[in-house]
Chain A
Amino acid sequence: MFRSLKFLFLTIIVVFNLLLSAEYQVDHSRENVVKFISHAPMDDFEGVTDKIDGYIYWEGDNLLNKSDMYFEVDLNSIDTGIGLRNRHMRDNYLETDQYPYTHFKGKLTKAEKVSENEYKVTAEGKMYIHGVEKDITVEGNMTALDSSYHITTQFVTALSDYKIKIPQLMFFKINENMQLELDFYVKKIEKN
């Protein structure tokens, strides 16, 4: 009898913990956009992809409680509009044969409710590009929808921080600073 009560009690704790936790994964059925924008005098361009994947996790009602997030972008999928430029970006700058993904792993550290469904959030964590990991802080917006969130953020990253060499031949083709814009959706994963 006593043993059964113990089992029941522990089961309740585990189930309660799972019920309170919320894992949201990138919703691939929505229109997700990741842009890498280079402003250069001779050749402005955008690299665009929808190949973002990952999750954001927290427990309870507080977005910061046990917050965890991981998002990655498939760099081989970036399209700058011209095949040759894609190839240059893959082969000469990002070296995607060695580093096919870029990712951010971190957690929410601030979440300020700015309207009924919208939060202004701050995430801190490690950005991984081109084999180099660097601590960064990113600000963005999370808008609650039915069972999903719409996440937007934009920030600038210096390519030299990630040991990406900018060739200085003939034309300065890529700006040292690359602007990243992310606009994507995550949906809640139902636990079985």
Chain B
Amino acid sequence: MKSRLFMVILLGGFFLISVLSFPGFTQNPNISWKRSSPETQPDLQLFHSPHSIDLPTATTLQKWDVEFEISHRFIPPTSVGINGFYGLDGPVNMRIALGLALNNRSIITLGRSNFNDNIDLTLKYKIFEIRNNALPVLIAARAGGAWNSNPAYIQIIGRDKTNSRNFQAFGQVILNTMIRNKLGIGVVPSYLYNTDIRFEDKTKDTFRLGLNAQYYVGQFWSLLIEYTPYISGYRSLIEQKHNPLSFGIELETGGHFFKIFLSNSKFLNSSQFLAGADLPVENNDWRLGFMITRLLKFGKKI
């Protein structure tokens, strides 16, 4: 009787071990493997592009990404009609720039606009992020200096190109959020030092509040708008007395962003754009503009 019971236990043991060892069993008890590290968390990015139109976004690039930018702003307004091909006949203000991501949080960019031969050097740094499904937040800071290396103003003809009055500086805090992965909203308090380089006696400063929004309609295109009202400080009452307003569409594909838009400003570099726009929106006069950025990677081809 006892030996029969022993056989039952023995066979039962074999059966249990065999069943638990069967590979089709979801949890093979002989296997001790457990996931060794938690799921990778990609860097939080909200807006797809590092730029709105003239305002920056808090989006950064991956370390050693290189961004090439070319922008045009056609000076004749669209109101010139077909005779001036709605401004496309030019002339144009243009900007070319090259940015380099020093790491995943910061981008250094060197750019040049043909207006006053304005050369600017900027650094954008992502300071802070809040991961929240309902209202994620990114905060970045952007600072830069600009040298108007060949000002075209008649008032200062003959001034040495390296005169300190030809230099400007600016700083921006960039607050971005994204609602339902569709609507990006940005608030960009901005400060400009030496707003008008024509003044010989003392520098003038300007504060503006950049506001921008972008609605991502599909995977590859979106609508965007930005408005940068004057807050305090110096404001030109003649040439740049209006608040910059721009709106358009953005296409993204692979490593490209292509923006085409209308704007009341002819300025592309930050130190010029933050001084103000030159066209009143009340007259429904707009300038056509576009911006193309391409991300590049040098070195190892991947």
Contacts and interface: CB of A to CB of B under 8 A. Distances in A.
Note whether A and B form a binding pair.
yes
A82 to B, nearest CB: 5
The DSSP consensus for interface residues of chain A is mixed
B111 to A, nearest CB: 20
B36 A53 contact: yes
B253 A170 contact: yes
A94 to B, nearest CB: 12
Contacts of B302: 45-46, 48, 79-81
A70 B33 contact: yes
Interface string B244-259: 0000000111110000
Interface stretch (B9-17, B79-87, B90-98): B9-17
Interface in B1-39: 2, 6, 9-10, 13-14, 17, 21-23, 28, 30-33, 35-37, 39
A80 B251 CA distance: 21
A18 B48 contact: no
A2 B3 CA distance: 9
A83 B35 CA distance: 26
B30 A18 contact: yes
Interface residues of A, number: 54
A21 interface: yes
Interface string B233-266: 0000000000000000001111100000000000
B220 A169 contact: yes
The DSSP consensus for interface residues of chain B is loop
Contacts of A74: 39-40
A15 to B, nearest CB: 11
Contact of B31 (A57, A72, A167): A57
Nearest to A46: B302
Contacts of B31: 23, 55, 57, 68
**Which of the four size classes fits the interface of chain B?**
35 or more
B33 A9 contact: no
Contacts of A9: 10
Interface string B58-75: 000110010000000000
B48 A82 contact: no
Contact of B297 (A23, A82, A90, A167): A82
Given A45-B302, A170-B251, A76 B33 contact: no
A17 interface: yes
Contacts of B101: 83
B39 A100 contact: yes
Contact of A84 (B14, B30, B48): B48
Contacts of A72: 35
Interface of A: 2, 6, 9-10, 13-14, 17-18, 21, 23, 25-26, 28, 42-43, 45-46, 48, 51, 53-55, 57, 59, 66-68, 70, 72, 74, 76-77, 79-88, 90, 92, 100-101, 107, 167, 169-171, 173, 189, 191
What 4 A-B pairs have minimum CB-CB distances, sorted nearest first?
Answer: A83-B62, A81-B302, A68-B23, A55-B33
